[in-house]
Amino acid sequence: MASLYSTMVVVCSKREEFCLEQASMMQSLPRTAAAVAVYALVALIAAGAVAAGGGEQPLSRIAIHRAIVEPQPGAFVDASPALLGLEGKDREWVTVTYSNPKPSKDDWIGVFSPANFNDSICPSENQWVEAPLLCTAPIKFQFANYTSRNYEHTGKGSLRLQLINQREDFSFALFSGGLLNPKLIAHSKSVTFINPKAPVYPRLAQGKSWNEMTVTWTSGYSTNEATPFVRWGAQGQIQILSPAGTLTFSRNTMCGSPARTVGWRDPGFIHTSFLRDLWPNFMYTYQIGHRLFNGAIVWGHQYSFKAPPYPGEDSLQRVVIFGDMGKAEVDGSNEFNDFEPGSLNTTNQLIKDLKNIDMVFHIGDITYANGYLSQWDQFTAQVEPIASTVPYMVGSGNHERDWPGSGSFYGNLDSGGECGVPAQNMFYVPAENREQFWYSMDYGMFRFCIANTELDWRPGTEQYKFIKHCLSSVDRQKQPWLIFLAHRVLGYSSATFYADEGTTEEPMGRESLQSLWQKYKVDIAMYGHVHGYERTCPVYENVCVAKGSDHYTGAFTATTHVVVGGGGASLADYTAARARWSHARDRDFGFAKLTAFNHTTLLFEYKKSRDGSVHDRFTVSRDYRDVLACGVDNCPSTTLAS
Element holding 91 (H helix, E strand): strand 91-99
In this predicted structure, the answer to whether residue 66 has a pLDDT above a threshold of 90 is no
CB-based burial of residue 287 (10 Å sphere; 0-12 exposed, 13-18 middle, 19+ buried)? middle
**Contact 395/230 with Cβ under 8 angstroms?**
no
Residues in a beta bridge with 614: 607
CA 163 to each of CA 192, 403, 429: distance values in angstroms, whole numbers, following the listed order: 10, 31, 28
Query: Sheet harboring 171-176: ordered strands across?
Result: 68-69, 183-187, 171-176, 108-112, 140-143
In this predicted structure, the answer to whether residue 337 has a pLDDT above a threshold of 60 is no
Residue 46: strand, helix, or coil: helix
Give Cβ neighbours of residue 370 (< 8 Å, ≥ 6 apart).
46, 47, 48, 55, 56, 57, 60, 258, 263, 399, 414, 415, 416, 418
CA distance 110 to 142: 7
Instruction: Supply the pLDDT for residue 134.
Output: 65
CB-based burial of residue 50 (10 Å sphere; 0-12 exposed, 13-18 middle, 19+ buried)? buried
The fraction of the chain above a pLDDT of 70, given in percent, is: 87
Task: State the average pLDDT over residues 133-140.
Answer: 81
Which is nearest to 319 in space by CA: 474, 479, 477?
A: 479
Say which DSSP state 8 is in: H
CA 459 to each of CA 402, 474, 512, 636: distance values in angstroms, whole numbers, following the listed order: 21, 20, 6, 21
Which is nearest to 458 in space by CA: 424, 508, 400?
A: 508
Task: State the average pLDDT over residues 292-298.
Answer: 95
- CA 515, 520, 522 angle in degrees (round to 5)? 90
Average pLDDT, the chain: 89
CA distance from start to end of the chain? 79
In this predicted structure, the answer to whether residue 48 has a pLDDT above a threshold of 70 is no
Give Cβ neighbours of residue 384 (< 8 Å, ≥ 6 apart).
90, 200, 201, 202, 203
Tens of pLDDT, residues 192-210 = 999 999 999 999 999 999 9
Which is nearest to 442 in space by CA: 319, 282, 606, 303?
A: 319
Residue 362: strand, helix, or coil: strand
In this predicted structure, the answer to whether residue 370 has a pLDDT above a threshold of 60 is yes
Say which DSSP state 185 is in: E
CB-based burial of residue 637 (10 Å sphere; 0-12 exposed, 13-18 middle, 19+ buried)? exposed
In this predicted structure, the answer to whether residue 535 has a pLDDT above a threshold of 60 is yes
More confident residue, 131 or 156: 156
Question: What's the whole-model pTM score?
Answer: 0.90
Tens of pLDDT, residues 256-293 = 999 998 999 999 999 999 999 999 999 999 999 999 99
CB-based burial of residue 348 (10 Å sphere; 0-12 exposed, 13-18 middle, 19+ buried)? middle
More confident residue, 320 or 16: 320
Task: State the average pLDDT over residues 553-564.
Answer: 97
Element holding 470 (H helix, E strand): helix 462-472
Give Cβ neighbours of residue 311 (< 8 Å, ≥ 6 apart).
210, 442, 443, 444, 478, 479
Residue 425: strand, helix, or coil: helix
| Identity of residue 404 | P
Instruction: Supply the pLDDT for residue 122.
Output: 55
Residues in a beta bridge with 183: 68, 176
CA distance 137 to 90: 22
Which is nearest to 211 in space by CA: 344, 330, 352, 309?
A: 309
Which is nearest to 481 in space by CA: 392, 391, 394, 594?
A: 594
| Identity of residue 413 | L
Instruction: Supply the pLDDT for residue 131.
Output: 42
Tens of pLDDT, residues 468-479 = 999 999 999 999
**Contact 505/489 with Cβ under 8 angstroms?**
yes
CA distance 286 to 298: 14
Q: Which of 15-24, 126-135, 283-292, 347-356 has the lowest mean pLDDT?
A: 15-24
Residue 583: strand, helix, or coil: strand
